[in-house]
Chains A and B, each alone.
Chain A
Amino acid sequence: MSQPELLSQDFELGFTYTRSTGPVVGRFLTDLRDRIIVGIKGSDGKVYVPPMEYDPVTAEELSEFVEVGQSGEVVSWCWVKEPRDSHPSAVPFAWALIKLDGADVPMVHVLRASAESEVSTGMRVTARWAEETRGFITDIDGFVAAGDES
């Protein structure tokens, strides 16, 4: 048989999921809508932000919520020179692991800065809220260098 023609086509696959949040994730997202960030105490008293439903070590069900600060420290980060279509920024930005004041476990979120040279490990950052909050992880539009949040 001869070589066939190469046939190809673009397509988009959509999974239009709705997800039940349960009491722990639901509480966190409800608070985000109110521009409050809460964590949860693990078995050893460590504060996890965002809250986990079960302790990752003891598997104990967790329920003790703790409000944490909206500022914190960059534990690690990377600089995205070429944002992907799916990324929450069209211009270069950083992803960061951010330990909020009052939390023991850092969370992953967007860190907005105008240049890589403005980002460093240990820097202080503050949450900047989306114009409208709806109870979703992107209610925090991203973190910015402390003092730049307005």
Chain B
Amino acid sequence: MKDIAIVSFAQSDCVRNAGAKNEVELIMPVIKSALGAAGLSTAQDVDFTCSGSCDYQQGAAFAFVLGVDALGAVPPIKESHVEMDAAWALYEAILKIRMGHADSALVYGFGKSSPGELPTVLSQQLDPYYLAPLWVDTVSLAAMQARMMLDQGVMEEADMAAVVARSRRNALANNPHAQLKGEVAVEQLLAEETWVSPLRKHDCCPVSDGASAMVLCTVEKAREWGKPYAVISGIDHRIETHNLGARDLTRSVSTEQAAAVAGVSDGAIEVAEIYAPYSHQEIILTRALGLGSETVVNPSGGVLAGNLMMASGLSRIGEVAQRIINGDIKRGLAHATSGPCLQHNLVTVLEAA
């Protein structure tokens, strides 16, 4: 099987409202930047392009097709799309390369959630007979998950606030793209009112507009290009039942399974970037991934500092890859999630060449 390298990554700022920028205007700068860092200029220079986005977010049918206008797709290119986070577009690109159908790929994700009411839009991804007609929103589902953990004594509210405080602090120190950052004390956070009890507003990721992009290829191709790279040493994704009542919401079995297959425990994890849209979910995920105090969790601040719906998962992988490319770390993991209450999870292990 071919070893796969990530050679470049670019992400936009996370902003609450990108206003007068259409899909192309959001995507083009990060694509140019990712391609440029790999020494390339358009999608013609890679063998395959795959994107992740969801048209319901901005309420524009086939918005992902308009996004192709940013690529330079004449003459026609090999292109695909997932109606999911672009971390799964990366997965598709990896399969394409492993099957020998491509040696290089451009992957990008974008989200413009500001035109709609995201938690309500996401209610329509649920079971269409039993849940979607109730319009139960994703924040409320996460809040019930958090309550279970509190009731069972798996964590305390102060543990949730500590996750938020660390996210804001890390974002201030390390992430120029963050939407929420700063020094804030746990006591200060706990003094705030609940929003969808037991969650406070700060326990929930913000709604952000933006995009991210990545170039990957075979290790041989990366050497040919003469670019530094991070190697994907393991990747796997697993999904659980859509029936929330049938899952143990206090743990993430699918993350545990994906982590085992991806080989997380085969070596020390220096940095983990975890896609936890709610503070309590970071606690679930660090446990599911078996991470201890030797691992720096979410040095970027994670998605509590800014959540590009449909690009955040790819950004987690990019955050880790970039640290390896820069020579800051040797081994790290990235996690991406999809669906309500961490239904579907993808784990990637990245290593220095």
In their complex, do chains A and B touch, with some C-beta pair under 8 Å? Answer: yes
Q: How many residues from A make CB contacts under 8 Å with B?
A: 42
| Chain B residues with CB under 8 A of A75 | 148, 245
Chain A 12-40 interface residues, beta-carbon cutoff 8 Å to B: 13, 17, 19, 21, 25, 29
CA distance A37 to B145 in the complex (A): 25
Cross-chain contact B136 with A106 (CB below 8 angstroms): no
Q: Is the CB of B245 within 8 A of A107?
A: yes
Residue of A nearest to B132 (CB): A137
- Bits for A57-95, please: 1 = Cβ < 8 Å to B, else 0: 000000000000000000111111110111110000001
Per-position 1/0 for A130-143, Cβ under 8 A of B: 00000011100000
Q: Are B195 and A81 in contact (CB under 8 A)?
A: yes
User: Given A77-B147, A79-B194: A138 and B133 within 8 A (CB)?
Assistant: yes
Contact A11 to B128, CB < 8 A, known contacts A95-B140, A121-B147: no
Whether A121 and B151, one on each chain, are in contact in the complex, defined by CB atoms closer than 8 angstroms, is: yes
A88 vs B123: C-alpha distance in the bound complex, in angstroms?
A: 13
State whether the Cβ of A113 lies closer than 8 Å to any Cβ in chain B. Answer: no
* Contact present for B134 and A48 (CB under 8 Å): no
Docked complex Cα distance between A76 and B247 (Å): 13
Q: Report the Cα distance A68→B245, complex, angstroms.
A: 16
Whether A123 sits at the interface, judged by CB under 8 Å, is no
Determine the distance from Cα of A121 to Cα of B59 in the docked complex, in whole angstroms: 37
Bound together, the chains give a CA A137 to CA B134 distance in angstroms of 8
Q: Is the CB of A97 within 8 A of B245?
A: yes
Contacts of B123 in A (CB 8 A): 86
A147 is an interface residue with CB less than 8 A from chain B: no
Q: Verify B133–A78 contact, CB threshold 8 A.
A: no
Interface residues of B in 273-305 (CB under 8 A from A): none
Query: With a CB–CB cut-off of 8 A, which chain A residues contact B148?
Result: 75-76
A6 to B135, CA, bound (A): 32
The 7 closest A-B pairs by CB, nearest first: A78-B143, A56-B241, A86-B135, A79-B197, A106-B245, A105-B245, A76-B144
Write the residues of chain B forming the contact surface with A, with a CB cutoff of 8 angstroms: 19-20, 59, 117, 119-120, 123, 128-131, 133-137, 140-141, 143-148, 151, 194-199, 240-241, 243-246, 249
Q: List 10 A-B contacts (CB under 8 A).
A: A56-B241, A77-B144, A79-B197, A84-B120, A88-B135, A95-B144, A108-B131, A108-B144, A116-B197, A121-B147
